[in-house]
């Protein structure tokens, strides 16, 4: 039965990877794969030799000799455990997405236009990459890429030039998301899964991530596309900076409340989604107050009658990308099925035994750096979410182990090597109509160089920080 489950998982994974070729949204194979895997687990529960207890992080002793009723009860408990852990991630993401949409409702991101007052291409490159690096650490790399490319389209008219800028923004955004617990879905998974703390993740990855961003940007700044000035000088009109009265207020309040979440977790020791819900409540309160103030007394009666249609909270919630949320749900629960059967545990043991290269020494075992870097290469080809989800079931190292930090860096920055390797790359591909082969020819080598140099810097720092 394990073979059938693995086949279903591989076929589902393949369908997700070929999403653009098959023209089927990746949420469909994800949720189907999840349901079929758990269905097969239920049918074959009496014939499995192993069962992995995710709560205790070890195989259940004597599982093969348990009665059928006991096995089904254990499966139900395990399913509820994984559902709870997955729900923590999903509600955290829903809260963050809603806050970002509320900021956008008030056109808060237009405030960033005020930072761009030069027509020199090299300076513009550094401004955009640093903005991407910082902004992605706060609102995630996908949203940061959307915001910055939208601004880019308003100030650079030449499509070829914009494509070069977009390529470097992808690298910078993925590097920025890797060192923050709220900057990328994978780092959020590791943070919520109690594999890393916010302070430790920042402390150990901010320098390698910065190097991963700076090296490609520095090289690119001497390349022909970034030489000289824009044909037309950039003019940022005052009224364009703040399209509504509360743009800047909602931007800084929203970003501040997102940054408050790790602080809340540190103080209360509660799961991060609790803090995110508190932050969402605060943002929603101000959004409703500011939205109401935009109406005159003469139109108040009409506003009361149609309040639901004008509510920034309702409008923002309607724009949430539910397909992405369902995809995360499907893939995380499908990986949980593989983990529960002990397949990932045994695979991790096999890797540790058969990859005796330089790596991280952990409790008498050695996890190869080569394995973790291959994870980064793999994330450029297929989605990094299931890869990191698999590592959570494969490796049992403790909180803030160097392995988790390296996985966060590798999976986060490795996706930049191909334009389809990260959410930031895919959205840039759509917004600027960048072809796969154009990116492969012009940007991939810069991303590979940044990834390798960043990884080496992490290995060097690891010997001093751990």
Report the relative pairing of strands 365-368 and 359-362 from DSSP bridges.
antiparallel
- Phi then psi for residue 229, to 5 deg, are -110, 160
Which portions of the chain are predicted below pLDDT 50? Answer: 233, 236, 239-243, 294-309, 357-366
- State how far the alpha carbon of 332 is from the alpha carbons of 241, 335, 338, 387, in Å: 40, 5, 10, 10
Q: Which residue has the tokens 């690298």?
A: 171
What integer pLDDT is reported at residue 253 of this predicted model? 92
Neighbour-count burial for 423-440, b at 16+ CB within 10 Å, e otherwise: bbbbbbbebbebeeebbe
What integer pLDDT is reported at residue 364 of this predicted model? 35
Nearest to 241 by CA among 115, 127, 109, 111: 111
What integer pLDDT is reported at residue 450 of this predicted model? 95
What integer pLDDT is reported at residue 353 of this predicted model? 64
- Cα 216 from Cα 201, distance rounded (Å): 23
- Phi then psi for residue 363, to 5 deg, are 45, 45
With beta carbons less than 8 A apart as the criterion, state whether 258 and 134 touch.
no
What integer pLDDT is reported at residue 355 of this predicted model? 57
What integer pLDDT is reported at residue 241 of this predicted model? 47
| pTM of the predicted structure, to 2 decimals | 0.75
What integer pLDDT is reported at residue 212 of this predicted model? 95
With beta carbons less than 8 A apart as the criterion, state whether 113 and 241 touch.
yes
């Amino acid at each position: 039965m394990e073979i059938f489950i693995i086949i279903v998982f591989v076929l589902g994974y393949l369908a997700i990877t070929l999403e653009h070729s098959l023209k089927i949204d990746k949420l469909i194979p994800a949720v189907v794969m999840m349901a079929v895997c758990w269905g097969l687990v239920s049918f074959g529960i009496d014939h499995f030799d192993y069962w992995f207890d995710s709560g205790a992080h070890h195989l259940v002793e004597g599982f093969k000799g348990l009665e059928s009723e006991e096995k089904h009860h254990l499966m139900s408990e395990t399913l509820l455990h994984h559902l709870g852990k997955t729900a923590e991630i999903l509600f955290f993401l829903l809260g963050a997405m809603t806050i970002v949409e509320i900021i956008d409702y008030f056109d808060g991101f237009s405030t960033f236009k005020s930072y761009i007052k030069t027509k020199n291409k090299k300076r513009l490159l550094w401004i955009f990459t640093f903005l991407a690096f910082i902004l992605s650490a706060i609102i995630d790399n996908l949203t940061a890429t959307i915001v910055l490319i939208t601004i880019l389209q308003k100030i650079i008219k030449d499509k070829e030039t914009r494509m070069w800028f977009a390529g470097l923004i992808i690298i910078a955004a993925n590097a920025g998301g890797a060192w923050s617990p709220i900057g990328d879905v994978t780092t959020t998974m590791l943070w919520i899964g109690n594999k890393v703390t916010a302070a430790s993740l920042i402390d150990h990855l901010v320098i390698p991530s910065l190097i991963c961003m700076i090296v490609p940007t520095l090289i690119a700044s001497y390349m022909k596309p970034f030489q000289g000035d824009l044909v037309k000088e950039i003019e940022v009109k005052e009224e364009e900076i703040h399209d509504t009265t509360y743009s800047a207020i909602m931007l800084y309040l929203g970003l501040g409340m997102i940054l408050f979440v790790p602080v809340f977790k540190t103080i209360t020791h509660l799961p991060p989604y609790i803090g995110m819900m508190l932050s969402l409540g605060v943002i929603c309160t101000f959004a409703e107050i500011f939205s109401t103030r935009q109406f005159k007394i003469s139109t108040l009666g009409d506003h009361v009658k149609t309040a639901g249609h004008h509510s920034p909270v309702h409008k923002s919630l309607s724009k949430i990308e539910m397909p992405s949320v369902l995809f995360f749900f499907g893939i995380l629960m499908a990986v949980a099925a593989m983990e529960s059967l002990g397949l990932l545990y045994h695979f991790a043991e096999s890797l540790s035994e058969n990859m005796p290269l330089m790596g991280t020494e952990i409790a008498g075992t050695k996890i190869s750096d080569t394995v973790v870097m291959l994870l980064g290469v793999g994330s450029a080809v297929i989605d990094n979410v299931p890869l990191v989800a698999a590592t959570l079931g494969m490796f049992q190292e403790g909180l803030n182990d160097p392995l988790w930090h390296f996985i966060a860096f590798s999976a986060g920055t490795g996706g930049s090597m191909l334009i389809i390797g990260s959410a930031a790359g895919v959205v840039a591909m759509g917004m600027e109509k960048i072809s796969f082969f154009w990116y492969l020819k012009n940007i991939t080598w810069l991303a590979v160089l940044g990834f390798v140099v960043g990884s080496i810097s992490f290995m060097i720092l690891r010997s001093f920080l751990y």
